[in-house]
Every structure is written in structure tokens, then in C-alpha cells.
């Protein structure tokens, strides 16, 4: 569960990132975060992972306030989440399997356990056959699938995806959405920032719409039915 309680974020230079945001995303939900550039989407996701602190308000992740976490407790918060980015952010000198395994290395698991989890995650995204390929030997869609495998390999409760289909053609974007939907159906909460109207409109997931830092719409039946302004 992700809960923002009266969250405001004003940056040092006075710019408002978010203003009086009250929103609760339940465990197992899939929510889109939409809105024009500068609306506050990145501010929202950065607050969730304690990259930045709010000016006021409280944020609960799985019932626990993350505002007062000590610096050494932040990695634990982030370990409970998976991240997917528009530009994949894979390590180019590592194979697909090594990219996925990298996240697990800090956990001190046996190499057998790591391999089992990596194989499962790559299987979930349909990339078992490509596990020894390097990123530059994979298509954009395949690279994003590796990034998704990396995000789920630690079995996180929450996945935060920032424009995950932004660099992909519509058919590939749809494949990526199918994978994210499967992951969500298995119980993972997903928050996905996107500009892609077609994708939002094809699903009936919740849509949180930001504009100038305010939550101007919270639509549970989905749909992205008006223009960015
Ligand atoms: P989005 O992700 O929807 O494009 P952001 O959350 O990045 O929006 O930005 C929201 C507002 O906060 C914008 O006006 C942006 O210029 C401003 N902003 C973002 N980061 C900073 C920062 N580090 N310092 C000052 N202003 C910022």
C-alpha cells in the first residue's frame, strides 16, 4: 500500500513539485500516473523511494511512514520495490542474466538460488532463450523485458515504472504492457507514469492525473480522455 497524506513538495528555488496530495493506492492495484511534462510525476515517484523528502505531509509504504527513515534504512525500503525506466538502464558489459542477477548480489544468496530466481524472472518476461545476450544484442523491447525481469527478481511488493514504453513502437509497447499486467495479476502493486494515451485507454486501470503539482483527477475506471495542456 502506498499512501500520500497531504503531501506538498516545494523545491529550494520555490518551484512547486506537488501540492496537497492525498491518495491511497491499495496493495495489488495498478495505477497510471499521467499529466503533462512538469506536472509532478517524477516528484511523486522520487518521494516514494525517498530520493527526496516532502516539504510537508506524510508518506506510508505498507503502513510504515518513510519520512523518518534513517539513511541506513533507505536501501531496505528500496529493496521492497522494483524500478523500470524509459531508457532501460541496463549494464552494457553484462549479459541479460547478469543484469538480472546483479540486484540479488547484495543479498548474499547462494549462486544456485540466484540462478533459480534469475531463470524464473527471465521466464516470466519470455526471455529465457536470450539470457546470454548482451544489451546491444537485444532489441529495445527485449532490453525492456530484461529490465522488467531485473525489477521483479527480488519479488518486490511494488513496481514503479517511469514511461516504460516511451521508447518502444506500439506493438512492442503492448507486449510490455501484457507482461506488466501479468505481474500485477500475480499480486504486485504497479505505479506507472506514462504519456501514452493509447495504452492507458486500452486498460481499465486507475488513472491519477496531475497538473501543476495538483491531483486533478482520480479515475478508477481508467481512460485518458482529454488532451495534455
Ligand atoms: P514531471 O515528472 O511530471 O515532468 P516533475 O515532478 O519533474 O514533473 O516536476 C514538477 C515541477 O517541479 C516542475 O515545475 C519542475 O520544473 C520542478 N522541479 C522538478 N525537480 C526540481 C528540482 N530539483 N529543483 C527545482 N524544481 C524542480
Interval 52-85: pLDDT, tens: 999 999 999 999 999 999 999 999 999 999 999 9
The pLDDT score that the predictor gives to residue 227 is: 52
- Which residue has the least CA distance to atom 7 on ligand 1? 42
The secondary structure element, H or E, covering residue 217 is strand 214-219
Please give the distance, rounded to the nearest whole angstrom, from the Cα atom of residue 38 to the centre of ligand 1.
5
Q: Report d(CA 89, CA 68) in Å as an integer.
A: 29
The low-confidence residues of the chain, meaning pLDDT below 70, are: 221-223, 225-229
Cα 24 to middle of ligand 1, angstroms = 22
Q: Measured from the CB, is residue 18 less than 6 Å from ligand 1?
A: no
Look at phi and psi of residue 156 and say left if phi exceeds 0, alpha if psi is from -120 to 50, else beta: beta
Nearest CA to ligand 1 atom 22: 11
Cβ of 14 below 6 Å from ligand 1: no
User: 42 in ligand 1 pocket by Cβ < 6 Å?
Assistant: yes
Give the residue, by CA position, lying nearest to ligand 1 atom 17.
17
| Nearest atom of ligand 1 to the alpha carbon of 37 | 4
- For residues 176 and 144, is the Cβ–Cβ distance under 8 A? yes
Mutation probe of ligand 1 site: the residue of 42, 47, 49, 162 with most atoms within 8 A of C-beta: 42
Read off the C-alpha cell for 73: 534504512
Distance of CA 1 to the CA centre of its chain: 14
Interhelix angle 111-124/170-185, nearest 10 degrees: 120
Q: Among the atoms of ligand 1, which is closest to the Cα of residue 15?
A: 26
Is the Cβ atom of 45 under 6 angstroms away from ligand 1? no
User: What does the alpha-carbon distance between residue 16 and residue 2 come to, in Å, rounded to a whole number?
Assistant: 22
CA–CA gap between residue 211 and residue 95 (Å, rounded): 40
> Nearest CA to 135 among 151, 122, 146, 127?
146
Q: Which atom of ligand 1 is nearest to the CA of 9?
A: 12
Confidence (pLDDT) at 68: 92
- The pTM for the full model equals 0.93
CA 76 to chain centre: 17
| Centroid of ligand 1 to alpha carbon of 156 (angstroms) | 27
Cell numbers at residue 89, please?
Answer: 538502464
Please report, for residues 12, 39, 49, the alpha-carbon distance to residue 52 in angstroms, rounded to integers and kept in the order given: 12, 17, 8
Distance 108 CA to ligand 1 centre (A): 37
- Residue located nearest, by CA, to atom 12 of ligand 1: 17
Amino acid at each position: 500500500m502506498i499512501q500520500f497524506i497531504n503531501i506538498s513538495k516545494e523545491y529550494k528555488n520555490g518551484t512547486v513539485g506537488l501540492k496537497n496530495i492525498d491518495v491511497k493506492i491499495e496493495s495489488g492495484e495498478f495505477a497510471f500516473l499521467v499529466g503533462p511534462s512538469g506536472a509532478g510525476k517524477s516528484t511523486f515517484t522520487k518521494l516514494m523511494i525517498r530520493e527526496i523528502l516532502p516539504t510537508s505531509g506524510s508518506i506510508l509504504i505498507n503502513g510504515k511512514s518513510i519520512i523518518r527513515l534513517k539513511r541506513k534504512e533507505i536501501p531496505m525500503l528500496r529493496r521492497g520495490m522494483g524500478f523500470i525506466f524509459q531508457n532501460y538502464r541496463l549494464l552494457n558489459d553484462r549479459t541479460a542474466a547478469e543484469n538480472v542477477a546483479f540486484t540479488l548480489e547484495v543479498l548474499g544468496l547462494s549462486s544456485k538460488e540466484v540462478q533459480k530466481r534469475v531463470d524464473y524472472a527471465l521466464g516470466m518476461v519470455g526471455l529465457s532463450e536470450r539470457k546470454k545476450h548482451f544489451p546491444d544484442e537485444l532489441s529495445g523491447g527485449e532490453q525492456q523485458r530484461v529490465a522488467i525481469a531485473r525489477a521483479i527478481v527480488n519479488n518486490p511488493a511494488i513496481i514503479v515504472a517511469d514511461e516504460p514504453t516511451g521508447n518502444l513502437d506500439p506493438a512492442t509497447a503492448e507486449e510490455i504492457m501484457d507482461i506488466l499486467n501479468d505481474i500485477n495479476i500475480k499480486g504486485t502493486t504497479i505505479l506507472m507514469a506514462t504519456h501514452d494515451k493509447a495504452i492507458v485507454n486500452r486498460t481499465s486501470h486507475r488513472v491519477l492525473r496531475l497538473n501543476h503539482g495538483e491531483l486533478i483527477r482520480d479515475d478508477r475506471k481508467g481512460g485518458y480522455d482529454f488532451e495534455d495542456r
